[in-house]
Amino acid sequence: MKKILVVEDNADNRDLVCALLEDDYIVGSCGNANEALNYLQSKKNSQPDLLLLDISLPGIDGIELLQRIRSAPELNQIPAIALTAHAMKDDWDRFIGQGFDGYVSKPIVDDTLLFNAIARLIP
């Protein structure tokens, strides 16, 4: 079964995403970027197959978190989806330009959009 790491500071949003995914994936979750970096460093032999990263994290935001992940040779190939409330027309291009492999806007009102974004990256 494929593994997904959800990094989301809002506990309700994190719980919702994890609940949506847990029947089909092994799901780990973190509430901030530092937790996520620690998690990834501790899972060197069992990295997630996909990252779902909130953009508006406290302290280190999701964009900087992704930059740190992309700079680590053992992590830089993990696909990442921006999971964000930033849903303006140009946000897709901005996040893809910053290294994300996909984009899903919150709140998640249609979970098929989330599942389709995941399926494109980890079939």
Q: In order along the chain (123 residues), what is the average pLDDT of each group of 10 residues?
A: 97 97 97 97 88 96 97 95 80 83 91 96 92
- What is the per-residue pLDDT for 93? 79
Residue 11, in any domain of the structure: yes
- What is the per-residue pLDDT for 123? 84
- What is the per-residue pLDDT for 75? 94
List 81's β-bridge partners, or say none. 52, 102
- What is the per-residue pLDDT for 3? 97
pTM given for the model: 0.93
Which amino acid is it at 121? Answer: L
- What is the per-residue pLDDT for 88? 66
Q: For residue 54, which phi and psi values (nearest 5 degrees)?
A: -65, 145
Residue 123, in any domain of the structure: no
Domain hosting residue 91, numbered range: 3-113
Residue 28, in any domain of the structure: yes
Question: Across the beta sheet with 80-84, what order do the strands follow?
Answer: 26-30, 3-7, 50-54, 80-84, 102-105
The number of domains in the chain is 1
User: 50: burial class by Cβ within 10 Å (0-12, 13-18, 19+)?
Assistant: buried
